[in-house]
Amino acid sequence: MSTRKISMDSLCVKEYKDQRSTRPHQLPIYATSSFEFDSMEEGIEIFTGKKSGHVYGRYGNPTIDTVSQKLADLEAYGTGLNAYGFLTSSGMSAISTIVLSLLKNGDTILTQGDLYGGTTEVFVKVIANSGIKTLFTDLTDLDATEQILLSNRTVKLLYLETPANPTMRCIDILQISRLAQKYGVYTCVDNTFCTPIIQQPLSHGIDFVIHSTTKYLNGHGNSIAGVIIGHDEKIKKQIWTTLKLLGTTCNPWDAWLINNGLKTLSVRMQRHCENAMSVAQYLETHPAILKVNYNGLPSHPHHDIAKRQMKAFGGMLSFEINGQLSKVIQILNKLKFCSMAPTLGDVDTLVLHPATSSHLNVDKARRETNGISDGLVRLSVGIEDVRDIIQDLEQALR
């Protein structure tokens, strides 16, 4: 008896066999929410951990996993460490996922007062609801930091940005990691400003690195994602479990866009650094500017720390305009070439006023104590012809 063929209606519905005959030169986008098993036995083996394999997009995806590993290899390059990476839906989800993976009710995060405003907010307004406290201090004062670690044994994580957003304050990564190891505390560095091209915290003993890949790693302002990178295998499964259950996973399209951006990362960062140095030197001599925060300038208080742990000085800087908020707004409104946008790390030059945007919801006293005044302007220096950037600043400040 002959077997009946499936109908045309069913043929429309069914997935056809992948016709790939040779390996694609570029990483494909695996736009699928789930993956098929060849048998029940294979599914059981994967779900029980006896065999590795993809099952569901929230648990992992070939595009996402490939880019995650590339980022991990970049951060661990030359260290001899076997690093792993987890792409997340944003830089903020990378922060919340690593914190909730490592800490529990009653634990404390020790961090700095001049964090990115969103990080400060997530610590005090969201993470705090899980019973995890945040203690702010000056992490450049190593003696004071050690006294806190000695007296407060609930501190389980040292979280730092270096250079800080937007003051460009640098923290000695090696000394902080040594302190943390002495007291059995995890360390995590937000390396968004530098990328592994400029700074590799893992090489200085740091446990975890996070990035908002939205910024320099992608570099073109067309994707939002984050990444967590570590090398402690004991914690790897814990992070993955938190990631998949919180649902903070990246998607294959954004992962693919990051991969495209990474191909020019090294050459972009070189140009960003060169341009930022020229702009910083110009601003430092301008009579309307009270202060320039750029680690490449010998006048920056943490210039020597930056020289020790950074291969270059990056594309980010901030400067303080001499005048009231109304004057600052008037000057920024005169910019024609530089764009006003609440992000950084794109190929074009971007201007942000922290007090009225990224740090708007941070306590004003804390903000001003840490050098984030109403006159402070953050500049993400692009890769354009630097003469055009300086010309625009000049006409706005005139």
List, by residue number, the catalytic residues: 58, 116, 190, 215
Tell me the β-bridge partners of 187: 158
Q: What is the rounded distance in angstroms from the CA atom of residue 120 to the CA atom of residue 358?
A: 10
**Residue 202 and residue 229 in contact, taking contact as beta carbons nearer than 8 Å:** yes
Q: What is the rounded distance in angstroms from the CA atom of residue 49 to the CA atom of residue 56?
A: 14
Parallel/antiparallel/unpaired status of strands 350-352 and 376-380: antiparallel
Beta carbons within 10 angstroms of residue 366's beta carbon: 16
What's the distance, CA 111 to chain centroid? 16
**Residue 202 and residue 83 in contact, taking contact as beta carbons nearer than 8 Å:** yes
Q: What is the rounded distance in angstroms from the CA atom of residue 83 to the CA atom of residue 71?
A: 9
Spatial CB neighbours of 355, under 8 Å, sequence gap ≥ 6: 325, 367, 372, 373, 374, 376
**Residue 299 and residue 284 in contact, taking contact as beta carbons nearer than 8 Å:** yes
Q: Residue 163 in 3-state DSSP?
A: coil
Q: What is the rounded distance in angstroms from the CA atom of residue 354 to the CA atom of residue 351?
A: 10
Handedness of CA 283, 285, 291, 296 (dihedral sign): positive
